[in-house]
Structure 1
Amino acid sequence: MQLDLNLLTALDALLEEGSVAGAAARLHVTAPAMSRSLGRLRRATGDQILVRTGREMTPTPYAVAVREQVHDVLLQARSVLAPSREVDLARLDRTFTLRWHDSLVALAGPALLTAVRGRAPGVRLRFIAESSVDTPELRRGQVDLEANAARPDTHGIRAEQVTESRLVIVVRRGHPLTRAGSVTAAQYASAEHITVSRRGSLTNALDDACAELGLTRHVVGTAPTEAAAFAFARDSDLLVTVPDITVRPADTVAGLTVLALPVELPPAPVYLSWHQRYDTDPAHVWLRDLARTALASCAEAGGPLDGAAQGAGR
């Protein structure tokens, strides 16, 4: 049988997407064309590759066993056909789509865009909002790079922790807690809180930590972003608990104060995530390096708690 690399590409997409429609969308072909490719794969391997179980398609044991091997073979083939790993940044004409947490866009986005424009003027960055539900764009190549606190567990997605942050309390200037010296866990739990959740969740790991101390947090509402939550806090006695990396000095000047959190929680990680197909893509590697630097620099240059908490009692 004559080797057809297109079949390997189709097999790779089918195993990652788990459906004919998903694989077709990722490779920008029609569903009937992908169905024909699946038929050819079944005849070539003597295996069903994907079988229907209810409303979903499930990979066969053979398909699961060869999934990594198929991807590795494709990477090797691409490296043979495109051996140069250098990228001419001055001539690079490409658009990258980045789905980052909104606070990370505000903090690191300007530095990243400046660095990109200074070295590759033909490159454009599309920052898009996070979805309230899990979506497949990263797996399908429609999103190039994600940055948030969640480590993806989807097959084929790489994740690298680039920095971390600790939770802090944000309140309006003059809030009663700013006159209390250090905030106790009981004071923290009994105050009124607004949580930040793009899914609208009223509880999170903080509530579990409070429960271990025999306390119940008084949550009265949610906001989809830190910026929205800060607006609530400026005009009320509501508390907002956020990672310190999301609090900029400008926020503390604009009517907000940062206080230390009296509940012990481990630092929150910040991950960069991308699809493994871009592991050796020189332009993507270059962008990841710049993004890593921009995010890490924001964490290192922050220190909002040190500056704001010192004036918390004023």
Structure 2
Amino acid sequence: MPRIDLNLLTALDALLTERSITGAARRLNLSVSAMSRTLMRLRAATGDRLLLQAGRALVLTPYAEQLSQRLPALIREAQALLSPAEHRFEAATLEQSFTLRAGEGFVDLLGAALMDRIHRAAPGVQLRFTSKPDWNAQPLREGAIDLEIGTVRTSAPEIRTRLLFRDRYVGVGRLGHTLLSGTGTDIRVEDWAACAHVVASRTGEALSPVDVALEALGLQRRVLMVVPSYTSAMQVAHRSDLLAVIPRSCLGNRFTPDHAAANGLQWFELPVLTPAFNVSAIWHPRLDQDPAHRWLRAEVLAVCVEAYQRDANVEDSLKSTR
């Protein structure tokens, strides 16, 4: 395929619009002789004379008349293709499906709010949430996952992250549980550890930061059940005398207030100190500058900010973790 000088399109547009070599030269800030040479190149490229002398003026050939109708749209398209990507992005016309990997708690508590926000801005977008059995970064590298939401537990050096909100652990038990029969405060750590517990663990391991804190005190929980998710742990705690430890965000947010109480649970501060942790958006750097992905990340962040950082109850409970 012969090499094509796209600058000739701009010159052709100027010549056909001005119908004057002098006018086209002035428009493109070129000399008249340079514009004449460009016209000769255009005539050679198109096989048409394009502009013909008619007295003191120049007139367009029939082929040039056709080109004058097609050229403006063609130039606009070429400029759009060669401009920075973000200048071409419009959420309202986006037709795309995004695959997100997140825990059940995020989907249950924020999935509807996120979809509502996205649908209002981009009705052609679909969200596909997949299960999160582990923290393997390979699906992000391969493009099987567009965005992951959760704690960062990968050693992959290239992975990008952005903090969505801070979280911490609290305890929950069914309404009327004997340990919570009083005010639910000042629970003795020995009494709490002696109760039966259900533990949420994707890997099946029962050890958690809570158990590390207990071990430092010479104590150990009586774990009777291990389930794969916090939502499952909450359901088990609701229907039994087992206690569970869950992130504070699972209790509810601005979009789903009193989620724990609505599920028959009462929450309490843990009688041991555990570190707060970050919940982040996680993605591969090949999507850093993709305008649609940047927009998606911004929407996820906005929902999390609205859900948790503007929730007075959550703000009060997280002050000590910042």
TM-score norm. by structure 1 comes to 0.68
Q: How does 1:54-73 map to 2 (within 5 A)?
A: none
Question: Any stretches of 5+ residues in structure 2 without a counterpart?
Answer: 1-80, 253-257, 318-322
Contact preservation (8 Å) 2:135, 2:153: no
Q: Please, which of 211, 214, 219 is the counterpart of residue 210 of structure 1? A: 214
Q: Please, which of 223, 226, 236 is the counterpart of residue 219 of structure 1? A: 223
Alignment partner of 1:174: what SS? coil
Structure 1 residue 170, shift from structure 2 partner: 0.7
Structure 1 residue 115, shift from structure 2 partner: 1.0
User: 1:108: which partner in 2?
Assistant: 110
Mapped to 2, the partners of 1:303 and 1:128 lie a distance apart of 30
Pair 1:269-2:273 in alignment:
no
Pair 1:186-2:190 in alignment:
yes
Q: Please, which of 199, 206, 226 is the counterpart of residue 203 of structure 2? A: 199
Mapped to 1, the partners of 2:243 and 2:209 lie a distance apart of 16
Alignment partner of 1:107: what SS? helix
Amino acid at match of 1:259: F
Pair 1:83-2:84 in alignment:
yes
Could you say what the CA RMSD is over the residues aligned between the two structures, in angstroms?
A: 2.1
Mapped to 1, the partners of 2:239 and 2:149 lie a distance apart of 30
Structure 1 residue 250, shift from structure 2 partner: 2.8
Of the two, which has the highest radius of gyration?
2
User: 2:141: which partner in 1?
Assistant: 139
Alignment partner of 1:110: what SS? helix
Contact preservation (8 Å) 1:163, 1:269: yes
Contact preservation (8 Å) 1:172, 1:236: yes
How many pairs were matched up?
228
Contact preservation (8 Å) 1:172, 1:256: yes
Mapped to 2, the partners of 1:231 and 1:163 lie a distance apart of 25
Q: Please, which of 177, 187, 197 is the counterpart of residue 179 of structure 2? A: 177
Q: Give deviations 1:32-68, integer Å, cap 9, x for gaps.
A: xxxxxxxxxxxxxxxxxxxxxxxxxxxxxxxxxxxxx
Structure 1 residue 253, shift from structure 2 partner: 2.6
Amino acid at match of 1:150: V
User: 2:295: which partner in 1?
Assistant: 286
Contact preservation (8 Å) 1:244, 1:305: no
Q: How does 1:150-169 map to 2 (within 5 A)?
A: 150-169=152-171
Structure 1 residue 297, shift from structure 2 partner: 2.4
Contact preservation (8 Å) 2:171, 2:269: yes
TM-score norm. by structure 2 comes to 0.66
Structure 1 residue 277, shift from structure 2 partner: 0.6
Mapped to 1, the partners of 2:315 and 2:91 lie a distance apart of 38
Amino acid at match of 1:303: N
User: 1:38: which partner in 2?
Assistant: none
Contact preservation (8 Å) 1:167, 1:242: yes
Q: Please, which of 72, 94, 97 is the counterpart of residue 96 of structure 2? A: 94
Identity of paired residues, percent? 33
Contact preservation (8 Å) 1:168, 1:305: no
Q: How does 1:18-33 map to 2 (within 5 A)?
A: none
Mapped to 2, the partners of 1:304 and 1:237 lie a distance apart of 26
Mapped to 2, the partners of 1:305 and 1:260 lie a distance apart of 15
Alignment partner of 1:134: what SS? coil
Amino acid at match of 2:224: V
Amino acid at match of 1:263: V
Amino acid at match of 2:139: E
Name segments (4+ residues, structure 1) moved above 6 Å.
304-307
User: 2:245: which partner in 1?
Assistant: 241
Mapped to 1, the partners of 2:280 and 2:294 lie a distance apart of 15
Amino acid at match of 1:282: P
Contact preservation (8 Å) 1:162, 1:296: yes
Amino acid at match of 2:84: P
Mapped to 2, the partners of 1:101 and 1:296 lie a distance apart of 18
Question: Any stretches of 5+ residues in structure 1 without a counterpart?
Answer: 1-79, 308-314
Q: Give deviations 1:50-108, integer Å, cap 9, x for gaps.
A: xxxxxxxxxxxxxxxxxxxxxxxxxxxxxx96623131112111111000111011122
Contact preservation (8 Å) 2:137, 2:156: no
